[in-house]
Amino acid sequence: MAKFSYTCSKCGTGHTKWAGQCDSCQSWNTLADQGPLSAGPSKTLGSKRGRSIALTDLATIEEPPPRTKAGVAELDRVLGGGLVQASALLVGGDPGIGKSTLLLQAAAKFARNGLKVIYVSGEEATAQVRMRAQRLGLTDSPLILAAETNLRDILTTLDEEKPDLVIIDSIQTMWTDHIEAAPGSVSQVRSSAHELTSYAKRKGVSVIMVGHVTKDGQIAGPRIVEHMVDTVLYFEGERNHQFRLLRAVKNRFGPADEIGVFEMTGKGLVEVKNPSALFLSERGKPTPGSAVFAGIEGTRPMLCEFQALVAPSPHGQPRRSVVGWDGQRLAMILAVLESRCGIPFTGLDVYLNVAGGMRVTEPAADLAVAAALVSAREDTPLPKDAVIFGEISLSGALRPVSQAESRLKEAQKLGFYQALAPTSKKIETIAGITLRPVTDLASLVEELFGPC
């Protein structure tokens, strides 16, 4: 067994010797002398016998875990139908995005629904939390507050108080006194998260931890925290947009990839019941470069608008700027447009945005992106009443995507009449929407803009 003397502060990988770059996550200057990541078995198990463990079969019927609903539909759905008793959760997000606001509101609701909830803030004094609660109109909730960062004291108090739910805001401010490292360091975060998770399992109490995320989207401190907990939720959005998305990236008790949509208002976070309508609300008259994508987020169809701008570049190396989508994927689509459809983007700056601060990860958005790009380049608007979806392969062929029918139904609800999507059938009408079949990228370009 190798003896690790250095630990990467980003991914938590142990190293035997120091190096400038972590060979696991490739980040620079992150190796620190943090002691061993895990002591590991230093000797073989030897001849000492353990106790026998319980063995069971597959057929035993398991009771579903007890859940409590917050009464906030968007949050309950992301949790997979409510908060599971004795579960450990991590809520990650950029500083200032609204994690404390979300959890204070959720905690107050859970407390109103009969749970004994303790909200421990390591970042703000109780007076500050109370002031925020007043502004959010939550003061009538029987929520219990504390401001503390010493985990030993917190756990002792929790043992006495016996709550049903504990919120820890944030895990980076907590410290345990048996480790000599600053709060927020890898070993402190790891140890605090471990203590809290095992407390949750031991006492049957749900624990929600807040974690700040680094700029590139990773929860600061070891990724190990993500493995320890049952559920990881990300709270994301653009700071200067009012929309916020709560996304389940891991959930042992429900579907991952589920999202909840909120709007940040002067009175805190308000759930958005019909996100498609909201994301499309800024659309005015048809503009070149705008394409509506019929997507699926988790289990729910959601429409959003891609906006592209193509302009002659004053630079030798044209700009490629993307917000809300993957830059690599954009490069791929530009390459396919150039080599399979003969539409070059050389010498042109390309900007691509998803309206409203939404972030799209589905490959099904390829076709909408391609349509937005060509529409911007040709300075010709797309039909206002059309939604677009489909995955593009490197050959320029289109792959059908899953759940086409629910995408079309959502589009119909929002007043669209036609859809451009890959399908093997001739023109057909589903859910009141005319489906115009396209087989490859070149045929889409021809269908929309004529022969190029």
* Using rule CB under 5 A, residue 13 touches Mg ion: no
Closest CB to ligand TYD among residues 91, 200: 91
CB of 212 to ligand TYD, least distance (A): 7
Are 328 and 352 in contact by the 8 Å Cβ rule? The answer is no
Closest CB to ligand TYD among residues 14, 268: 268
User: Using CA atoms, how far apart are residues 229 and 132, in angstroms rounded to an integer?
Assistant: 28
Are 388 and 448 in contact by the 8 Å Cβ rule? The answer is no
Closest CB to Mg ion among residues 75, 441: 75
Size of site (CB under 5 A) for Mg ion: 1
Q: Cα-flanking dihedrals φ and ψ of residue 303, to 5°?
A: -95, 145
User: Using CA atoms, how far apart are residues 102 and 262, in angstroms rounded to an integer?
Assistant: 9
320: partner contacted, choices ligand TYD, Mg ion, none (Cβ within 5-8 A by kind): none
CB of 99 to Mg ion, least distance (A): 5
Kindly list the residues in this chain that would bind ligand TYD in the complex (CB under 6 A). 93, 95-101, 132, 135-136, 264, 266-268
CB atoms under 10 Å from CB of 28, counted, come to 10
268: partner contacted, choices Mg ion, ligand TYD, none (Cβ within 5-8 A by kind): ligand TYD
Closest CB to ligand TYD among residues 173, 307: 173
* Using rule CB under 5 A, residue 7 touches Mg ion: no
- Residue in the structure block whose two tokens are 């917050």: 70
Mask: binding to Mg ion, 72-101, rule CB under 5 A, as x and -?
----------------------------x-
Closest CB to ligand TYD among residues 125, 427: 125
Helix (H) / strand (E) containing 117: strand 117-121
- How far from 408 is each of 79, 371, 427, CA to CA, in Å? 26, 18, 14
CB of 193 to ligand TYD, least distance (A): 18
CB of 451 to Mg ion, least distance (A): 56
Which residues are paired to 375 by β-bridges? none
82: partner contacted, choices Mg ion, ligand TYD, none (Cβ within 5-8 A by kind): none
CB of 121 to ligand TYD, least distance (A): 10
- Sequence length of the chain is 452
Paired sense of beta strands 231-236 and 117-121, if any: unpaired
CB atoms under 10 Å from CB of 352, counted, come to 25
Closest CB to ligand TYD among residues 100, 191: 100
CB of 210 to Mg ion, least distance (A): 6
Are 419 and 388 in contact by the 8 Å Cβ rule? The answer is yes
| DSSP H stretches of helix in 325-365 | 327-341
Characterize 262-286 residue by residue with b for buried, 16 or more Cβ atoms within 10 angstroms of its Cβ, and e for exposed: bbbeeebbebbeebbebbbeeeeee
Closest CB to ligand TYD among residues 130, 132: 132
CB of 336 to ligand TYD, least distance (A): 39
Closest CB to Mg ion among residues 128, 281: 128
CB of 302 to ligand TYD, least distance (A): 23
* Using rule CB under 5 A, residue 172 touches Mg ion: no
User: Using CA atoms, how far apart are residues 72 and 37, in angstroms rounded to an integer?
Assistant: 39
CB of 285 to Mg ion, least distance (A): 41
Phi-psi region of 40 (alpha: psi -120 to 50; beta: other; left: phi over 0): left
| Closest alpha carbon to 8 in 214, 170, 171, 175 | 214
CB of 93 to Mg ion, least distance (A): 9
* Using rule CB under 5 A, residue 187 touches Mg ion: no
Closest CB to ligand TYD among residues 201, 241: 241
Closest CB to ligand TYD among residues 225, 294: 225
267: partner contacted, choices ligand TYD, Mg ion, none (Cβ within 5-8 A by kind): ligand TYD
Closest CB to ligand TYD among residues 98, 295: 98
Measured in whole angstroms, how far is the alpha carbon of residue 378 from the centre of its chain? 34
DSSP 51: P
| Closest alpha carbon to 409 in 262, 253, 300 | 300
Half-sphere exposure of 13 (CA within 13 A, CB side): 15
| Closest alpha carbon to 157 in 199, 191, 194, 115 | 199
101: partner contacted, choices ligand TYD, Mg ion, none (Cβ within 5-8 A by kind): ligand TYD
CB of 297 to Mg ion, least distance (A): 25
User: Using CA atoms, how far apart are residues 202 and 298, in angstroms rounded to an integer?
Assistant: 31
Mask: binding to Mg ion, 22-51, rule CB under 5 A, as x and -?
------------------------------
Q: Which of residues 98-137 bind Mg ion (CB under 5 A)?
A: 100
Q: Which residues bind Mg ion (CB under 5 A)?
A: 100
